[in-house]
Amino acid sequence: MLSFLSSSLSNTRQSLAQVLNFALVLSTAFMLWKGLSVVTASSSPIVVVLSGSMEPAFQRGDLLFLWNRSLRAEIGEIVVYNVKGKDIPIVHRVVRTFPEVEGRHKTVKAVSESSPTPPNMLLTKGDNNVADDTELYAHGQDFLHREEDIVGSVRGYMPMVGYVTIMLTVTMGSQKRIAKELAELTGSPPAGITVELANEDNLYEWKIFMDGPEGSPFHKGIFQVKLVLPTEYPFKPPTVSFVTKIYHPNVTNDDKGSMCLGMLKADEWKPSSRLAVVLQFARSLLEEPMPDDAVEGRIAEQYREDRKRYEEIAREWTRKYAISS
């Protein structure tokens, strides 16, 4: 009996010791993090690069060390900023500052209190992006404010160290973003579009039903569309394909039914794009195809040169495949 009690007490002490050691590790890490935050004046002194928009300067998974005690950011400097209402930090380069800097001595132009342009405003851009970041900023925001939006400037990095963090962050952020957009689309769907999950256990595959737009050869047809989201969403675009056969220059005329959308190409996709816009654009192509961006050249040529015959075949296919008897 005594040996049993002794063994139980020993196990309890070991369990408590493990809990205390774990708590000590967490508290030490927290104090180090807070210490770095105070020294660097940054709310997040260490961040991980989550996208390839700054390649080749930085790759996905690089660990960045930030400093936020500089009074201003200069053109060419790489900064990390948070957009209002979004949790994902963005690492991009400053390409323009307001007020402008003049002369070799970098004398800052005076800005009066009544000036519509606040001091120390920044415009940023990813080295690997075609356009600047205005579409990534919050609604109605044209520039970043140095004090309000900037988390810090990059002062050092370690390559690929944060790749595990990327996988965890991207997966969790992806699921949160997808769940939010799904709720919005099911609660208030765009006209002529119905959205549901293909499988209740899988957030990444959606089943869409599109009504053929009035005035198009697809009118009165109901088309089933499959939307598949990558685990890296919103940093990588979804794919859209027609399950229901359709005669259209922008949809492959095979069992895959892949739809060609310019906004879904890897080099044109923007993480700020919303799935509601993607689906609305896909439906708008049923009304106004884009023959110059076709995946079926023969159908595109027929659409341009013999519109009447194109519409006859499209209506025939709609009656055959998209209208239930």
Compute the average pLDDT of residues 202-221: 93
Contact between residue 40 and residue 49 where contact means Cβ atoms under 8 Å apart = no
Residues 278, 282, 288: CA angle, nearest 5 degrees: 135
Looking at residue 9, its pLDDT comes to: 53
pLDDT band at 104 (very low <50, low <70, confident <90, very high): very low
**Contact between 147 and 98 (Cβ < 8 Å):** no
Mean pLDDT score, 197-225: 93
The answer to whether domain 46-161 and domain 166-322 are alike in fold is no
- Taking alpha carbons only, the member of 32, 97, 51 closest to residue 70 is 97
- Please report, for the chain, the start and end positions of each structural domain, with discontinuous segments joined by +: 46-161, 166-322
pTM listed for this prediction: 0.55
Catalytic residues: 53, 92, 133
Query: Measuring CA to CA, which residue among 201, 204, 197, 199 is closest to residue 171?
Result: 204
Walk across the sheet containing 222-228 and list its strands.
Answer: 193-199, 202-211, 222-228, 239-242
Q: Which residues pair with 124 in a beta bridge?
A: 94
- 46-161 has which CATH code? 2.10.109.10
* DSSP-assigned states of every residue in 11-67: HHHHHHHHHHHHHHHHHHHHHHHHHHHHHHT-S-SEEE--SSTTTTTS-TT-EEEEE
pLDDT tens per residue, range 129-175 = 888 888 888 877 888 888 888 888 999 888 877 566 666 666 666 78
> Average pLDDT over the chain, rounded to whole?
83
Higher-confidence position of 222 and 158 = 222
CA distance 264 to 278: 8
| Distance (Å, whole) CA 2 – CA 162 | 51
pLDDT band at 275 (very low <50, low <70, confident <90, very high): very high
Structural tokens at position 30: 């927290």
The CATH architecture one would assign to domain 166-322 is Roll (3.10)
Element at 124 (helix H, strand E):
strand 121-125
pLDDT higher than threshold 50 for residue 105? no
